[in-house]
Amino acid sequence: MSRRRLDAISEQAIDWMVALNARTPDDALLQRLTHWLQQDPAHQQAWERLQRRLGRPVATLRALEQRAPGHAAEARQVLLQPTHSRREVLAALASVGLFGGALWGGWRSETTQNWLADLHTGSGERRSFTLADGSRLSLNSASAVDLHFDAGQRLLVLRRGELLIQVATDPHRPLRVRTAQGQVQALGTRFLVSQEDTATRVVVLEHSVRTSLPDGRWLDLQQGQAALLRSNAIEPLADDQQPRAAWLNGRLEVLDEPLLGVIDALRPYLRGYVRVAPAIGNLRVQGVFPLDQPQQALQALAESLPISIEHYGPWLTLIGPAQARQNKS
């Protein structure tokens, strides 16, 4: 006897789930998903029902599609089967290779990139390490670093996230941190490096560092100074950036930052996808927020700013203007 088909709305929810996980979601995709969710309460119910069945989004769909194009479509067909339990869903996904070998490991860690790094932290996790030379390295949430230490060099490659390092002195091997945009070199100093979407942020907490780009341009930064390394320029920052190191103590300290920047700092501590409507991204924020209680931080933002926060299951959070809540009701 053939199985019954799922209803059309459930199929649409599955299509959205596959689209969200088969590639890195951009703002346009999230905006279309937001529109679909808010069109009809039945859409939200179907979305949350699907997430409950899976337990979390099928994050490996993206890695699977990169390694074996076309398999995300197979996963969609599996999800379309009207199974009744999470166990059945996961068993069916395993049948198309979603949870085999390294992909299963990638699903359990933050990303395959983190999983393969020499040192890494998961979502909501901060860790400190003493390196072979005596330097003290701290990693913020969802960060990953590779180490290249030998007789001739001390090199850290920041794959993603944020690090803070207290450098042990070694006059023969200056310590370097390499990122997607450039390099930071130090000797006997303490500084912070953050890999952002299109730039590297460097904040000097003690002594000095030399920042440089692949084309040879460089800029020295002294204690208290900061800069953004971009692909074509090094941009000094005039405002005080030292409070950015407060994550070491589990705090996010904000003096006068745009809301989008605050949410970006909270993202490594939040589960799933968080979208900020462009209309409110530049709202100014100040305050001290607990990193280990990100939902409490979001609530504090909602109480102090004209914004609404909507949760669609545990894996999608939409932040928009306060009037959006009134229009929806």
Furthest C-alpha separation in the chain:
76
Element at 307 (helix H, strand E): strand 307-311
Average pLDDT, the chain: 80
Predicted pLDDT of residue 86:
43
Q: Is pLDDT above 60 for 5?
A: no
Residue 66: Cβ within 10 Å count: 13
Q: How would you write 33-64 as a 3-class SS string?
A: HHHHHHHCHHHHHHHHHHHHHHCCCCCHHHHH
CATH number of the 118-242 domain: 2.60.120.1440
Predicted pLDDT of residue 32:
84
Residue 194: Cβ within 10 Å count: 23
Looking at residues 161-180, what average pLDDT do you find?
95
pLDDT band at 69 (very low <50, low <70, confident <90, very high): very low
Q: Please state which of the ranges 65-69, 141-145, 181-185, 291-295 shows the lowest mean pLDDT.
A: 65-69
Which CATH number, 2.130.10.10, 3.40.1380.10, 1.10.3720.10, 3.55.50.30, labels domain 250-328? 3.55.50.30
Predicted pLDDT of residue 122:
85
Q: Where are the domains of the chain?
A: 8-108, 118-242, 250-328
Residue 106: Cβ-neighbour burial (10 angstroms; 0-12, 13-18, 19+): buried
Q: Contact, 222 vs 189, CB < 8 A?
A: no
pLDDT band at 57 (very low <50, low <70, confident <90, very high): very low
Both tokens assigned to 60: 């490996």
Residues in CB range of 216: below 8 A, 6 or more apart: none
Predicted pLDDT of residue 64:
41
Element at 256 (helix H, strand E): strand 251-258
Q: Is pLDDT above 50 for 328?
A: no
Predicted pLDDT of residue 312:
77
Residue 56: Cβ within 10 Å count: 12
Q: Is pLDDT above 90 for 96?
A: no
Q: Is pLDDT above 50 for 163?
A: yes
Predicted pLDDT of residue 52:
64
Alpha carbon separation from 250 to 112, 210, 289 (Å, rounded): 26, 28, 9
